[in-house]
């Protein structure tokens, strides 16, 4: 049995907390953005698509630096939050969650957008002709059908958050017990003498968590698909 040190347990807990919070809080925005991009036509839509997918293209360090400019203690938004709400993202685990949410957001949106585009709009139109309002159509038809894509997007966002390094370390640094995630800890352990064993253990636990997340999402997807076939 592998015995983890208190430092390693703290790192694992912080990583899971940050990845989970990042995925959960970005989900409503991901659903909204994915639906808008899949169904609506409006000026500068391609510009919005480019902006949403920008974290996939930009080096993570650039994204982290931009976050530092806007949400740092002296940044445009960061100064406002600190002055009026006594809250800051800089050098806090909440800042790491924000960075991870932004880095995983494009993967979530792309999955949700694809799922919404695959829905037969005739089903929704039939519900509208029967008197259902758009909000009811969304929650009773669109959302349940698109749920597999939403689960996939959330899983991808979680996995991306779990492995995030560049944007996080640039924005909130590598503070043990606060912002030191598995990726940052592995990097740190590799810089110190006799740290390879700790780095290797964290590598294995990272692989285990990622595989577990994928397996859980696959089980849920399989059950959802069986339910949908049964309902049909």
| Segment among 125-129, 212-216, 220-224 with least mean pLDDT | 220-224
The answer to whether residue 177 scores a pLDDT higher than 70 is yes
The answer to whether residue 89 scores a pLDDT higher than 70 is yes
The answer to whether residue 63 scores a pLDDT higher than 70 is yes
The answer to whether residue 3 scores a pLDDT higher than 90 is no
Query: What is the CATH code of the structural domain delimited by 6-226?
Result: 1.10.3720.10
Average pLDDT of span 39-52: 90
The answer to whether residue 232 scores a pLDDT higher than 60 is no
Q: Are 81 and 87 spatial neighbours (Cβ–Cβ below 8 Å)? A: yes
For the chain, the straight-line distance linking the first and the last C-alpha, in angstroms and rounded, comes to 47
Average pLDDT of span 32-52: 91
Q: Which residue has the tokens 């991306």?
A: 160
Question: What span, in angstroms and rounded, lies between the C-alpha atoms of 58 and 10?
Answer: 30
């Amino acid at each position: 049995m592998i015995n983890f040190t208190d430092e390693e347990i703290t790192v694992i807990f912080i990583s899971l907390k940050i990845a989970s919070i990042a995925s959960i809080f970005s989900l409503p925005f991901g659903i909204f953005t994915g639906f808008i991009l899949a169904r609506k036509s409006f000026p500068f839509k391609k510009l919005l698509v480019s902006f949403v997918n920008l974290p996939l293209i930009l080096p993570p360090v650039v994204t982290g630096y931009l976050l530092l400019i806007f949400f740092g203690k002296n940044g445009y938004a960061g100064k406002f939050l600190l002055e009026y709400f006594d809250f800051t993202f800089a050098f806090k685990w909440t800042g790491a969650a924000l960075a991870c949410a932004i880095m995983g957001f494009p993967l979530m949106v792309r999955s949700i957008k694809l799922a919404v585009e695959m829905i037969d709009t005739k089903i929704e139109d039939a519900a509208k002709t029967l008197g259902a309002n758009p909000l009811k159509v969304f929650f009773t038809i669109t959302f349940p059908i698109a749920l597999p894509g939403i689960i996939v997007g959330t899983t991808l966002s979680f996995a991306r958050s779990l492995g995030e390094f560049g944007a996080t370390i640039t924005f909130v640094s590598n503070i043990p017990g606060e912002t030191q995630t598995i990726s940052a800890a592995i990097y740190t352990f590799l810089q110190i003498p006799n740290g390879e064993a700790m780095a290797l253990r964290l590598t294995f636990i990272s692989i285990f968590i990622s595989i577990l997340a994928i397996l859980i999402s696959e089980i849920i997807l399989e059950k959802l698909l069986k339910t949908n076939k049964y309902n049909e």
